[in-house]
Structures are given as structure tokens and as C-alpha cells.
Amino acid sequence: MASDSTSPLRAGGVGKTGITRLMPFSTGLHALLLKLGLSSRNCVILVPYIWLTLFFLVPFFIVLKISFAYMTIAQPPFTHFSETGHLSLNISDSYGRLISDRLYIDSYLNAIKMAAISTVLCLLLGYPMAYGMARAKPSTRNILLMLVILPFWTSFLIRVYAWIGLLKNNGVINNILMAVGVINEPLHMMNTNFAVYLGILYSYLPFMILPLYANLEKMDLSLLEAAADLGCKPLKAFFVITVRLSLPGIVAGAMLVFIPAVGEYVIPELLGGPSTQMIGRTLYNEFFSNRDWPTASAVAIAILILLVVPLAIFQRYQDKQMEAAE
């Protein structure tokens, strides 16, 4: 067997002449890189590593630095350490404003509240959907999965826009309800907190369903049969076994919804009213309308501090998932 089976594999190296022609160049380059202590393995690690360090990690430290600067009327609108000649840590200015001005605290707390409630809403609707999908026939399952993923591929902005047409005073929902005769006056839904909840639920629902589905699909159903054999009622078995076992999926889905929802800008801006203050919107306006970059930076740092724990939970879930797959 050995002599027979090696020949087709050898035939795989047909392009040998081309490779040998490139040999002097590639070995030269390789030797140079090796001299610098860079094997090809290290290069593969270093390229994305350096990219992410430079464009993802380092920027946070710059935000931290600028949050301690003074606001000036200049371009860019903040002072530099180099200009004053000494490191003037300016804690009272931007951070003081965060604490003293009700706007920041209110929008900060409001964002946490609205993101948390939206996460619960996503779970309440997403769990039964993921459950139903995971228990469907395998052929139906793939179609349903595609239907959940499909909206994710279409524009987020457009999907939020679609709700304006539905929720407006002379929008589709009000028109239908009034035509049927359920209501006489249009319901005021647009530019309310209700609209924002609906928008977040709608936009983030797939993020809740997908990890839940992945978890529920893998579940060992014989556990439920065993519980039934032992006299456990289906509803009790559902909460004691199914929900318990799907806890990692619930946590992952909750983090995927909660973390980005806290900093949401587009949904409160388009669907919410002027009183719907969420911290992401406050940051955006602080930056673009008031051009107060140090305060905007301080707001960003405050959001990051809030998100440290959820981010760590999310990261731990990712690592666990990797281990499980290996």
C-alpha cells in the first residue's frame, strides 16, 4: 500500500520548477527575518498583534490622557501636556462635570436601565424562538437559522428607519388600528422610550438567538427523558434541566446585547424623544455639537469602567467555548 499511495501525493508538488525559481529570494528573505528573530510563526502572530495593539489598545490610553486635558477653542480643541511644559492632571474639569451635571449621571443610569430591560426583553422573546428552532426538524432548522441571520446582513440603519414608518402618528400601525376601529386617535409611539426599547429588541434579537440556539441544539435530550421517567413534570424539567444547561448561552447572548446597547447612539437618536437620554447619545452630542472633547473622553472612560465586568464575562465565555471545541 505504501508505495502505491505516495505517488499521487507526490504529484501534488507539480509546481516545483516555479517554486525553485523563487527559492533564492524566499530563502534570502527568510534568513533575514530569522536573523531578526522572526520565524514565520512569529510573523503570523506579530502582524495582527501589532495592528490590534496600535489601533485598538493604544487609543484607549489616548482617550484616558485627553480626558484629563483642558478644553480650548482650537483645532483640535484640547490642551497638550507639552504646551504647559508639565504634566497638568486636570481631574476637576471634565470629571467634575460628569459628577456635578445631572445630565451625565441621568443619561448614564438611564442607559444602564434601558440596556438591562432590553436584554431581558431579548431573552424573553429570543429563548422560546431559539428553543423552537433547536427542536425543529433538521431541514426546517437550517431555513429558520438563515431567516434569523438574514436581517443581520441587511443594513442596521435601514432596519431602524423601517420602525419610523411603522410607529409614526400617521404610520402603518396607527393607520391599521384606526382603519379597523380599535382606536380613534393615533397612539403616540414615535419618539418615546417605548420606541427605543422596541428598536433595541428588534436590532439585537439575532445576537440573543444565535448563541442560545447553538447551545440548545447541542443539548442531550435523553436527560429530559430520564427526568420524565423519574416522574418530573415537563415544565419543571424545562426549568431545572434545559434552562440550567443553557445558562452559558444565556450569559453569552445577554452580554452580546447588553454591552453594545449601553453605548447605543443611532436607536435613541432616531426613535427616542429629546428626553430619551442614553450615555452614548450624550457622548456623541458632547463631541460633535458641543465640541467638548475632554468631557466626551471622560464619558468614554466612564462607560468603559462600567463595561469592564461584562467584557470580562464575555471574554471568559469565548475562552470556554474555544476549550470545549478543541
Least spacing, CB of residue 125 vs other proteins, in Å: 6
Instruction: Tell me how long the chain is.
Output: 326
Least spacing, CB of residue 318 vs other proteins, in Å: 5
Under rule CB under 8 A, how many of the chain's residues touch other proteins? 101
- Which residues are CB-contacts of 263 (< 8 A; sequence separation ≥ 6)? 111, 279, 280, 283, 303
Cell of 229: 421517567
Least spacing, CB of residue 205 vs other proteins, in Å: 7
Report if residue 66 touches other proteins, rule: CB under 8 A. Answer: yes
Residues 10-39 that bind other proteins (CB under 8 A): 10, 12-13, 19
Residues 221-240 that bind other proteins (CB under 8 A): 234-235, 238
Read off φ and ψ for residue 71, nearest 5 degrees: -85, 135
Question: Cβ closer to other proteins: 172 or 247?
Answer: 172
Least spacing, CB of residue 88 vs other proteins, in Å: 17
The CA distance from 74 to 320, in Å, is 48
Nearest partner of 213 among 155, 140, 280, 164, judged by Cα: 140
Amino acid identity of residue 195, one-letter, is A
Read off φ and ψ for residue 218, nearest 5 degrees: -85, -10
Least spacing, CB of residue 76 vs other proteins, in Å: 5
Least spacing, CB of residue 147 vs other proteins, in Å: 6
Residues 108-127 that bind other proteins (CB under 8 A): 125-126
Amino acid identity of residue 102, one-letter, is R
The DSSP letter of residue 68 is T
Query: Taking CB under 8 A as the rule, which mask of x and - marks residues 34-63 in contact with other proteins?
Result: ------xx--xx-xxx-xxx-xxxxxx-xx
Residues 132-191 that bind other proteins (CB under 8 A): 132-133, 135, 142, 144, 146-151, 153-159, 161-166, 168, 170-172, 175
Report if residue 4 touches other proteins, rule: CB under 8 A. Answer: yes
272 torsion bin: left (phi>0), alpha (psi -120 to 50), beta (else): beta
Residues 288-307 that bind other proteins (CB under 8 A): 288, 293, 296-297, 300, 303-304, 307
231 torsion bin: left (phi>0), alpha (psi -120 to 50), beta (else): left
